[in-house]
Chain A
Amino acid sequence: MKKLGRLIGWFIVVPFLSRAQEADNSPIHQLIAELYEQYAAESEEEPDVENFFEELTALAARPLELNSSSRRELERLPFLSELQVENLLYHRFTYGAFTSLYELQLVEGFDMTDIRRMLPFIRLGEAENEREELRWWEVKQYGRHELYLRNDYSRQSLPYDGDRLHSWAKYRFEFRDRIRFNLTAEKDAGERWWDASRGGVDFVSSSLQLRSQGVVSNLILGDFTAGFGQGLVLRQGFRRGKSAMTTQVAIRDSGFKRYASTNEHLFFRGAAATFHFGKTDLSTFLSCRKIDATFDGSVFRNIYTSGLHRTPSEIEKDDRVTQHSMGVNLSYTQLYYELGLTAVYTRFDTPLQPEIKPYSYYYFRGSHQLTSGLHYRFRVHYFNFFGEAALTRWPGAGTINGVSFAPSSRVNIALVHRYYARSFSPLFASAFSAQSRVGNESGFYAGVEMALLARWKLSAYADSYRFGWLKYGVDAPSVGNDFLLQLQHTPSRQLQLTLRYRYRQAYGSERSGQSPLIAVQQEKKRSGRMQLDYTTGRVVFRNAMEANRFDGTGLAATGYAAWQDVIFQLQRLPLKMTFRYLFFDIPGGDNRIYTYETDVLHAFSSPSFSGKGSRYYLVAQYEIGKQISVWLKAAQLRYADGRTHIGSGSSAVAGDSRTEFHFLMRFRIRNH
Chain B
Amino acid sequence: MKNLLIVAILAGSYQLATAQSWFPLSHPLSAGGTPATDTRHRGLFLNPALHAPVKHPQLYAEYESRYSITELASKGLAFAYPFSHFTVTAEFRYSGFEAYHELLAGVAVARDFGGKFGMGLQLVSDSRYSVETDRYYTAFYPYLGLTVPLSPALLLGISTFNPFLKKMKYAAAERTMPSVYSAGLNVKITESVQWRLQADKEISNALRVGSAFDISVSGSVFFQAGVSYLHFVVPALGAGFLVRRWRFDLTATLHPLLGLSVAGGLGYHF
Contact = CB atoms under 8 A, between A and B. Distances in A.
A614 B201 contact: no
Given A495-B150, A640-B203, A616 B158 contact: no
Contacts of A638: 164-165
A383 B116 CA distance: 46
B201 A583 contact: yes
Interface in A472-501: 491, 495
A88 to B, nearest CB: 33
A614 B203 contact: yes
A583 B183 contact: no
B46 interface: no
Main SS of chain B's interface residues?
strand
Given A536-B116, A539-B117, A585-B201, A562 B164 contact: no
Contact of A614 (B113, B148, B165): B165
A543 interface: yes
Nearest to B117: A536
A616 B117 contact: no
B203 A583 contact: yes
Contacts of B114: 537
B53 interface: no
A640 B183 contact: no
Interface string B91-132: 000000000000000000000011011000000000000000
Interface string B144-164: 101010110000101010011
Contacts of A612: 203-204
A532 B148 CA distance: 11
B117 A614 contact: no
Nearest to A534: B148
Contacts of B81: none
B179 A640 contact: yes
A545 interface: yes
A161 to B, nearest CB: 33
A509 interface: no
A541 interface: yes
Contacts of B203: 583, 585, 612-614, 640
A564 interface: yes
B163 A616 contact: yes
Given A537-B116, A612-B203, A640-B165, A581 B160 contact: yes
B181 interface: yes
B207 interface: yes
Contact of B165 (A532, A534, A562, A613): A613
B176 interface: yes
Interface in A3-51: none
A660 to B, nearest CB: 15
A240 to B, nearest CB: 32
A541 B151 CA distance: 14
Contact of A560 (B116, B148, B151, B207): B207
A616 B165 CA distance: 11
B210 to A, nearest CB: 16
Contacts of A545: 183, 199
A491 B204 CA distance: 36
A543 B156 contact: yes
Nearest to A562: B181
B113 A539 contact: yes
Contact of B158 (A539, A543, A636): A543
A204 interface: no
A541 to B, nearest CB: 6
Contact of B204 (A581, A636, A640): A640
A303 interface: no
Contact of B146 (A560, A564, A614, A636): A564
A583 B179 contact: yes
Nearest to A638: B165
Interface in A579-628: 581, 583, 585, 612-614, 616
A537 B176 CA distance: 39
The 3 closest A-B pairs by CB, nearest first: A536-B116, A640-B203, A638-B165
